[in-house]
Amino acid sequence: MATYSVENCNNECFDAEQNKCILHCKKDDWYEIKDNKKDWSKSTDEIKLFWKAIRNIISESQSRIAKFLPIPFNNIIFPKFEGNGLSSSVLGYEDSFFEKEGEKKFTQTVKFNHCTFLDCVDFTYIQFEKDIVFSECILKDEIKFKKQLNIRISFLECPEIESLDFSRTVFEQKVEIKDCVIKSCDFENTRFKSLADFYKTEFYGNLFFKTTFEDIVVFTESKFHEDVNFKYTTFKKLALFRKTLFKKKLNLDDSIIKEEANFLEITSKEDKIEVIDVENRETARIIKNSFEQQNNIIEANRFYAKEMEEREKELNKDMIKGKNITEWLIFKAHAISSNHSQDWLLALFWIIIFGALYTIVSFCSSNTCLSNVNTPILIGSIFLVSFYSLHVYNMRDYKQFTKYIFLFLLFVNYFTLTKDFNLSCLADKINPFSIMTSEESITFGLLMFKITIAYLIYQFIVSVRQNTRRK
């Protein structure tokens, strides 16, 4: 029978059309889909030949010369495992390596390079005495291991891992899952006694419940596409979340972080750094405190604002029940005026709006202004300015140029109505101490306006200071 060569493979050609051996040929036609599951019953003979070839690789690797080298599995496409419903009696084996009857043992490092696993990978009854490595592999179904592992496990640059079941597993040594894409993972009651490295790994479905990281855990540049809840998860040492992407909500409310955590440059968008969405106020507080411990006040301020937003949500719920009404009003004013003392441009924006509107009203209360301006135009302009002000505030992600355009339109109306081209009247109105030097009588409306301006100026000053340190 003809042979062929794929990375030193000189096995007999199994599929003439593909010109490949039993190990490397495609196996998409070896199974049928029944009830959303793969049925391999039509390919028992082919699977028999496949695992015979696998045992040959293992036997050759366990020879006297090669027993100190890793067992290599290169570019192999794996069908259903022998122990998964295809017993040795069905296949005609005297000994099935992955059979559940009695544990089997690998005494050498096992390396899977560029391999594809089409069905469940069940190593539950396999004892590994040395490391196991999956490099650039595709796992189309679930992968399972023993519940107590004293070896180093590595998944490196695997573009597709359908399901990773490490629930109730204890890892004594380092675990690497780097630059992989995981559709679903289960870390319920999992204990990592050494380094757990998830660098640049993408998580879709995820479950972290009562997970314990006894050593450093690395989520640097990882991506979480769904909500992440580290419920009852313990981080005993450094937890690295640097440049981690959280596309949905993060929940650390029930987490136990005993030492330092690094959340530098975490974001909710891939193209820029943007404050992530958190499930609750406690999560924002934990992240804020981590930045404060590192003296990173600017980042701490961002999550202080997030903490205040979550507090406002809590107060909104209380407001519906008729509780904490006064505190709700204070928080609402704080948010509208300066985004909880974080946005100095927003505070300046409101100062100019209130100052310009009050100046327009003051000028147009005189006969001179009213004689030169059509009353409907005046009323319409004030209504437009007020409406647009609220619209700009309510835009969740308003852009700076939008505010600039609005201010331009506002001042067109201002100059048209007041003729105050040097802005002297506006400056006088904004000055909270002008009532002390002005001969103008103090009315209740003027007093309330000055109090409002004084409050906004205070918010402006505090917001500027927040860019360097928190009061």
Query: Are the C-beta atoms of 198 and 221 separated by less than 8 Å?
Result: no
Amino acid code (one letter) for 416: T
What is the largest distance, in Å, between two alpha-carbon atoms of the chain? 111
**How far is 227 from 204, CA to CA, in rounded Å?**
9
Work out the end-to-end distance of the chain between its first and last CA atoms, rounded to an integer number of angstroms.
Answer: 82
pTM to 2 decimal places: 0.75
pLDDT of residue 191: 96
According to DSSP, residue 41 is labeled: G
In sign, the C-alpha dihedral spanning 421, 424, 430, 435 is negative
Over the range 111-121, which residues count as b (16 or more CB within 10 Å of their CB) and which as e? Answer: bbbbbbbbbbb
Strands 32-34 and 37-39: antiparallel
pLDDT of residue 1: 42
Low-confidence ranges of the chain (pLDDT < 70): 1-12, 14-18, 62-67, 83-103, 365-406, 434-441, 467-471
Over the range 413-436, which residues count as b (16 or more CB within 10 Å of their CB) and which as e? Answer: bbeebbebeebebbebbbbbeeee
CB neighbourhood size of 343 (10 A):
18
188 phi/psi in degrees, rounded to 5: -70, 125
- For the segment 81-127, what is each residue's pLDDT rounded down to a tens digit? 875 443 333 333 334 455 444 457 788 899 999 999 999 998 887 88
Contacts 24+ apart (CB under 8 A), 430-437: 430/351, 430/355, 432/457
pLDDT of residue 251: 97
Over the range 190-219, which residues count as b (16 or more CB within 10 Å of their CB) and which as e? Answer: bbbbebbbbebbbbeebbbbbbbbbbbbbb
pLDDT of residue 382: 56
Cα 276 to the center of its chain, rounded Å: 7
